[in-house]
A and B are shown apart, each in its own frame.
Chain A
Amino acid sequence: MNEYRYDHQTVQGFILSAIFWGVVGIVVGLLISVQLWAPGANFAPYLTYGRLRTVHTNGLAFGLGVGAIFGLSYYIVMRLTRRPLLFPKLARAQLWLFNAGIALAAISLLMGQTQSLEYAELEWPLDIAIVVLWVMFAVNVIGTIVKRREEQMYVSLWYVLATVVAVAVLYLVNNLSVPAGLTKSYHLFAGANSANVEWWYGHNAVGFVFTTPILAMFYYFLPKSTGLPIFSHRLSIVAFWSLVFAYLWTGAHHLVYTPLPDWLQTLAIVFTIFLIAPSWGSVVNGYYTVGQDWSKMRSTYLTKFFVLGITFYGLQTVQGPTQALRVVSQLIHFTDWVPGHVHMGTMGWVTMVTTASIYYVIPKIHGTEIHSERIANVHFWLVLVGQLLFSITMWITGIRQGWMWKATDASGKLLYPNFVDTVVDNYPMWQARTLAGVVFTVGMLFFVYNVIMTIRKGRALEAQAVARSAPAAAPAA
């Protein structure tokens, strides 16, 4: 256990950093949700909706998401290779650079420094810092796996490795730009190509930040916390390869009916529909794993996080392909439906699995138990209710607004020619969304409290152990 002590502190450092940036990102999310129905809540120039929205998305994707991925991937890699990290100091340096980078990123976004590419807003100096971070991560993950003390690589390691290479390729290509000063650059690609490269990146950021590393956690922590083996190894293999193959073809489904050539849109739509298969490969594998003993849902508090998480992953990966179809896209594209979809993935699938994994890891590295299962259960239900309320309101809003944009009378005249009429109609729904966000946030605060109390408990135990061993050591000396 002591062999791992230093690395476990690094893992915990990433987890706590992720939680900190997560709280920042969620609070900013609440503020921008209020700004949508109360424009007086904009405080120009730094705290306007436009600038804050990027802080919200980047804070949660890179701060919470990537921070947790760094920490939990390191934990999984150490367990599955049966050894500490190959470069412990490098991982610690990565932790500091990560926090400095996210802090600078937040400031630069508030200053309005943005490439205007979704999920790739950060300007080129920060892009370079992120590339350095990722190389540090890749070197440690690959190095540790190469020097492993376990012959076979378990499925979680495949997903971690795929994440490492895919994110590297995606990030490098989409951020190709020509600097026009320290805080401004122009995308190398123009118009249709700029759009196509960006959404190849953007969709696969979802694929390789919000999917593959989360699946790595799912495949490791579900069997660990339930004691049930993964149902089918063969299914994991088929699902893995078909997922990482098909994902990269689908970016243009974000550009249906734009001036992008039809063939590219159609190709993306076809592969998007195909993606249902590998996604559901993991869903089925998850269900059948727990299906070996459903009583775990009651007896082991973490089981329901994973089961609900994989359920939202399953719903997400059917809803997403449905949205790619032209007939659906023409109605819901550009409406609130899409943020509703994204938030089911992030607040349902990603949050459920990540928080459950953290609940598993934190007590483990301190050799103790969770502070309170009851608080974890309260957290679970609040997050679940908040997320459902959020997504469902957004879907209703999206369909209504899409319909209002299209509605014409018998002579072909628009029924709602003033755009603002179709916006005002959303205000009550947006207020409901803010309420949903508050419920979700309270749930997450219960989670944060629970994690901190568990760490305090762990530290107290360690202090006791030291105190006990000290007098025992004295007579011997």
Chain B
Amino acid sequence: MSDQKLYSKPILFTLVATVTILVGSIVTMAYPVFRNDMNQKVPGLRPLPALELAGRDVYQRESCNACHTQTVRPLRSEVVRYKGDHAEVPAARYSLAGEFAYDHPFLWGSKRTGPDLAFEGWVKPSREWQAAHLRDPRKLVPRSNMPAYAFLADAKLDGESVAAHMRALRVVGVPYTDADVAGAPAAVAGKTELDALVAYTVSLGKAVDRSRKPGRIDLAEANPAAGNAEEIQRGHRLFEDNGCTACHGDEAEGIEGVAPSLVDDVFLEVKGDMPDAAYQAIILFGSDAKRALGRAGRPDGGMPPAELSDDDAWAVVAWLRSHAAHGAAEHPAEHK
């Protein structure tokens, strides 16, 4: 078809232009809707309770997202800034896609005139502080430029509309039960929009249990991935992809003066191995887990917590075990 023809046939031209526009749209917008990596859900994620949902509606109505983002990027300075009370959050993290599986719409925002709120429930968990700050921000932060939202305290919530909102959310896939919907009016009875917004704010970041402490290590816990060939292979990949090799060597054999071997029978510089659960704890919590395990190892620091799920960490341990056994079979002399 010659150029001339296309530019003298408006309907044909419009069709060709439409197809041209649809190619990128399909690949980058429509196709991802059906992909697993776009539809993750963190374990134990639950829809917002009635009061928190009402608070999210207020958050949307006042366009809080015009000034506050809700996504902590995987940048060191950002993770440090928004980690909250470090004692409570041993594995300081960034936002995960799976935390937002019930967010219709997403509220990540695009501008930080105020701070990010993704982990606000950890950073400022006090309801009293949040309420006082919303009423009059400058009383608590003298030079803040945030508008005062005292008027929210005068508006009572309407339980029926909260229930209606839950029903609409159920249509788009948020798993509210009949009991949730029926209980909504009672749950918000007598509460104000301010109560709701505060409840929502302090719930932020709580979708993922960031409070896991190494103190809870159960050494008797069995490794669900042990001996599973697929998991072992996955563990090997995770070991390579998460930078473990940088310190522990390509084959986990250790690097002199940097980090110990993970396939010998010395654990945290003490002869004698420990159960899989101990390895998993060290992977998840890094050096913070040492004391909990009762072995000091090197004096301080050293290993950072890995950004891995429980199951991922189990898979890595399963690979380490299988790899160690393999090595022992090949070189029996070194492993008497």
Contact = CB atoms under 8 A, between A and B. Distances in A.
A191 B104 CA distance: 7
Interface stretch (B16-24, B228-236, B262-270): B16-24
Please name the 10 residue pairs, one residue from A and one from B, whose CB atoms are nearest each other, closest first. A191-B100, A248-B24, A180-B168, A50-B63, A187-B105, A112-B61, A259-B97, A249-B24, A42-B147, A257-B73
A317 B88 CA distance: 45
Contacts of B64: 50
B61 A414 contact: no
B243 interface: no
Contacts of A74: none
A99 interface: no
Interface in B84-129: 95-97, 99-115
A165 to B, nearest CB: 5
22 contacts: A39-B138, A45-B151, A50-B62, A51-B63, A116-B105, A142-B11, A161-B17, A165-B14, A169-B22, A179-B168, A189-B105, A190-B100, A190-B104, A191-B103, A193-B32, A249-B27, A254-B110, A259-B95, A261-B32, A338-B111, A405-B81, A406-B75
A161 B100 contact: no
Nearest to B58: A112
Contact of A251 (B29, B38, B61, B99): B29
B67 A50 contact: yes
A158 B18 CA distance: 12
Interface stretch (B159-167, B197-205, B308-316): B159-167
A118 B110 contact: yes
A185 interface: yes
Interface in A402-435: 405-408, 412, 414, 417, 419-420, 423-424, 427
Contacts of B27: 249, 267
Interface in B9-52: 10-11, 13-14, 17-18, 20-25, 27-29, 32-33, 35, 37-40
A169 B25 contact: yes
Interface string A164-194: 1110010001000111110011111111111
B172 A54 contact: no
A152 B103 CA distance: 49
Contacts of A200: 25, 28-29
A198 B197 CA distance: 24
A44 B147 contact: yes
A262 B38 CA distance: 11
B147 A190 contact: no
Contacts of B62: 48, 50-51, 112
B144 interface: yes
Contact of A181 (B29, B65, B161): B161
Interface of B: 3-4, 7-8, 10-11, 13-14, 17-18, 20-25, 27-29, 32-33, 35, 37-40, 57, 60-67, 69, 71, 73-78, 80-81, 95-97, 99-115, 137-138, 141, 143-151, 161, 164-165, 167-169, 171-174
Interface stretch (A125-133, A237-245, A449-457, A463-471): A237-245
A145 B49 CA distance: 55
Contacts of A184: 57, 165, 168
A412 B80 contact: yes
B21 A169 contact: yes
B144 A420 contact: yes
A264 interface: yes
B151 A186 contact: no
Given A44-B147, A166-B21, A257-B74, A186 B100 contact: no
Interface in A84-123: 112-118
A194 B103 contact: yes
Contacts of B65: 116
A113 B67 CA distance: 17
A42 B66 CA distance: 15
Given A169-B18, A186-B105, 4 more contacts: A153-B13, A161-B10, A186-B168, A245-B24
A148 B7 CA distance: 13
A116 to B, nearest CB: 5
Contacts of A198: 105-106
A3 interface: no
Contacts of A424: 143
Contacts of B173: 190
A377 interface: no
A197 B141 CA distance: 36
A195 interface: yes
A192 B106 contact: yes
Given A151-B8, A261-B38, A114 B104 contact: no
Contacts of B151: 44-45
B112 to A, nearest CB: 4
Tell me which of B11, B18, B80, B145 has the highest count of chain A C-beta atoms within 10 A of its own C-beta: B145
Nearest to B11: A146
A350 interface: no
A297 B7 CA distance: 32
